[in-house]
Structure 1
């Protein structure tokens, strides 16, 4: 429980911290006693007047509740940490991870004097239905940190205990889902996809009951906590709950905060500032979703409360990377209707943006509403161009030839679907094979996914069309084509079977696979000999098709 005095003391302490700027004398922090949060701008936003930590369905006129994490009771174990996140975002020396103070901090058992832990209130549409008040039911935002390069990051623990928004949940997260989020958020960053980051993963023997597939079969699992980092954790649902409850003064405060802090290119004095803000969020959201499509990533739960106001990937739950190409691919066992399948992600992103636009409308005049509606109407055409551009790069092209490129991409994806060729490895192997070998059955034996693709009747026609299209690219040598394609087509992604292998070892207190995966996926475009031996770029094992991932975590 956070008392009023506690809040006052924490706010006071946080204002005394002055960040060391990047210079020759800057030293990474090796001791948690030397590391502090920066002054929190989030505390200028409306806070819940009730500071007791109990579940409430109708918090009003506030954006955050002040609430402390619930300490874990059993021995803490550090599963893994991201050295890049610690060093280049948090200015911490990796040696700090060996200290008890760090372990207790990233588990939520130790609250720094400079921290004011918050739980965020938001709403949202879940599977297309308005779900009223939601909020951080198992997450605590510890504070903000400005690093030596001047970047501001918000640190959040996931799985750190109950909050006023926990509803019937226990506020905890389990090891299996935490391993997936920890690895995948880092993997997506190295794929070049805008994303939240993960700094650390801690596990304990604290028991958590979960019915993984909602069949009435609860099992005891181990509690885990991920330290997540993001420039902002505000979501579409952050605005939706305020607009729905007609809390317009608070809505305006939050919109102005987001605009000033995260979209500085927009003049806060411009009368059309909210129209410009919506336009930028919309286009960045489309860019993000196109990025997902380009690597075969399916989020799994694209509810409006899981869509970021700064257009980054957040809330990794039942995600998946499509393997044997199937546009109907649904990674989420809980998504019985296939609402969030692979070939609907862009459509759903636009649907969610329409819902977001409704939260803007109370603050717009009639002409501004028309402008926002026009933005939404024009989004489809822009989306098509961006998607074609992404796949054009995957095929090694720089020039844009609308009709020809559309036909070639459509033909390739159709062949991949009908032969069940692997999405990731088909594009990758197209970038590894020489053009002279592309039509050679003997050479194709060394490229398992292309070999599968070549069984299609239209494969010779595709090769002919691809070679002809490449002639348009002036002075493009085959080596340059291969180099270009291998820079955008990964050899390794976090396939479900690979993640499951790491999870099963971690559940037996063997964290080596988590750490190895983190290292491999830091360089997804580069061949790793040990990863090759483990079969990370081979056809998935037969048992992989039995893996099921749900919303339960």
Structure 2
């Protein structure tokens, strides 16, 4: 499949300026740089819960974690590649304080973002950053601007009945999956660090009355922007149209350079771009068997990148009804229904934009909306290449073959193995081969490979294997792998978190440490008993 690096420049104007990282000397052109406020800030101060109007951000300060802080994990790639930091800084207590909310970067004015959203199909009203704090933006040596946000860093005006914390299990999953998706080539937010404390946090993990204490944790997340569909919905729903227009103008100017800011149809062009990019993103999710789990409008980025990792799951046995989130009783966000959830979200985005569109523009936007599923299907077919693969997927569904390893083992199979039907060392393909029509499919596939061989100067089979292995991962973050790392982390053993993070940086490369850990084996029996909920 073809992965896309869609955008490389962006920023935020809701803070005074870029945080000056104290362990790195600022470049000369950064010194004294100030960025003016773009939006009005909530006039009420304090982290107490309230209804907020006529602003996009509220001032909100992180609440430091209690007890000793442990740096459970860091992404060397994010620190060095995005924040221009030498990874050696992680040994300092100062670093732990900065990335957990104990200290603020000089110049940082922490904010919580006000947004709303449709949750499981219903308008939920004001939501917002209930446990996240935007620290500021940083422009790195490559000219990329990244917004730094802490998750799990305490209460904000948008915490509702929550305590503003995140726990170890959900934070480990967020850290690992953010980075894993990036290395799979899928547009995503990033995670730079994970800090764990001894602070007790009360959670009813499965909403069954079994409340228990867990430990608090904070993830430092990065994204080009944290604006989401709900950012626009709350303004439109409340009739704050001047602010809606101002936010849209900012988002377009900062993140959609191909759209002319003085054109009368810029909002329509923006909508068209989001519809197209979101459909393509969701096709990429499906190409690796990723189910987000909570496809609410407040979890969908306006930049069409994956954000807000909660009860996600990578599908194992192929099943369009796979639901990773046990809180999703009706299966609204099953993997097979994700595209329709995306369509619903694009409808709600259009509803938010309607007050700013002329009648003629609304008609065109309705036509654009109708292209969403077609774009998704076209992008999916491009990723899957052709009808031969579509028939292959039907066999997978019938046999409930493993999604990741069936594709991968087909990638690794030699021409000799395919002709001899020798799959004794390929457990997923062996499951698939039990289908009565597998031989028919394989004969068609071999004929196709034979035709390619007559037109190729290279060894067609080794070339096929190399190309297929470069896009079909051998390792993804299966829930059982994350759970194994979490159980150890809850005992202050972060070795498997580090191991998984290292392995998932090269998901297409066979690695001895991963094979020894069984990450390419059949999932263990207990994996089928795992449950993941919205609780975090």
The residue aligned with 2:4 is: none
Match runs of 1:104-503 below 5 Å: 104-392=97-385, 405-406=386-387, 408-441=388-421, 443-471=422-450, 473=452, 474-475=455-456, 477-503=460-486
The residue aligned with 1:522 is: 505
Deviation at 1:263, TM superposition (A): 0.3
Give the gaps of 5 or more residues in structure 1: 1-9, 18-28, 393-404
- Cα distance change, pair 38–380 in 1 and its aligned pair in 2 (3 A): farther
Instruction: Name the SS for the 1:360 alignment partner.
Output: helix
Give the gaps of 5 or more residues in structure 2: 1-13
Comparing 429-438 and 493-502, the one that deviates more:
429-438
Deviation at 1:486, TM superposition (A): 0.2
Instruction: Name the SS for the 2:470 alignment partner.
Output: helix
Deviation at 1:415, TM superposition (A): 1.4
- Cα distance change, pair 210–41 in 1 and its aligned pair in 2 (3 A): farther
Deviation at 1:411, TM superposition (A): 2.2
Deviation at 1:134, TM superposition (A): 0.2
- Tell me the distance in 2 between the aligned counterparts of 1:334 and 1:287: 27
TM-score between both structures, scaled by the size of structure 2: 0.93
Query: What do residues 133-189 of structure 1 show as CA deviations (whole Å, max 9, x unaligned)?
Result: 000000000000000010000000000000000000000000000000000000000
Contact 2:291–2:334 (CA<8 Å) still a contact in 1?
A: yes
Give the alignment's Cα RMSD to 1 decimal: 1.8
Deviation at 1:211, TM superposition (A): 0.2
The residue aligned with 1:547 is: 530
Deviation at 1:16, TM superposition (A): 10
The residue aligned with 2:9 is: none
Deviation at 1:330, TM superposition (A): 0.3
- Tell me the distance in 2 between the aligned counterparts of 1:71 and 1:455: 56
1:55 paired with 2:38, answer no
- Tell me the distance in 1 between the aligned counterparts of 2:434 and 2:167: 43
- Tell me the distance in 2 between the aligned counterparts of 1:184 and 1:167: 27
Give the number of aligned pairs: 517
- Cα distance change, pair 77–515 in 1 and its aligned pair in 2 (3 A): same
- Tell me the distance in 2 between the aligned counterparts of 1:64 and 1:11: 10
User: Could you tell me which of 23, 28, 48 is aligned with 1:31?
Assistant: 23
Query: What do residues 395-429 of structure 1 show as CA deviations (whole Å, max 9, x unaligned)?
Result: xxxxxxxxxx33x3332122112222110000001
- Tell me the distance in 2 between the aligned counterparts of 1:330 and 1:50: 41
The residue aligned with 2:76 is: 83
- Cα distance change, pair 450–224 in 1 and its aligned pair in 2 (3 A): same
- Cα distance change, pair 350–527 in 1 and its aligned pair in 2 (3 A): same
- Cα distance change, pair 41–191 in 1 and its aligned pair in 2 (3 A): farther
- Tell me the distance in 1 between the aligned counterparts of 2:45 and 2:415: 66
Query: What do residues 64-99 of structure 1 show as CA deviations (whole Å, max 9, x unaligned)?
Result: 001100111211100010000000100111011111
1:537 paired with 2:530, answer no
- Cα distance change, pair 172–38 in 1 and its aligned pair in 2 (3 A): farther
Contact 1:38–1:145 (CA<8 Å) still a contact in 2?
A: no
1:45 paired with 2:39, answer yes
- Cα distance change, pair 16–329 in 1 and its aligned pair in 2 (3 A): closer
The residue aligned with 1:4 is: none
- Cα distance change, pair 425–468 in 1 and its aligned pair in 2 (3 A): same
The residue aligned with 1:20 is: none
The residue aligned with 1:507 is: 490
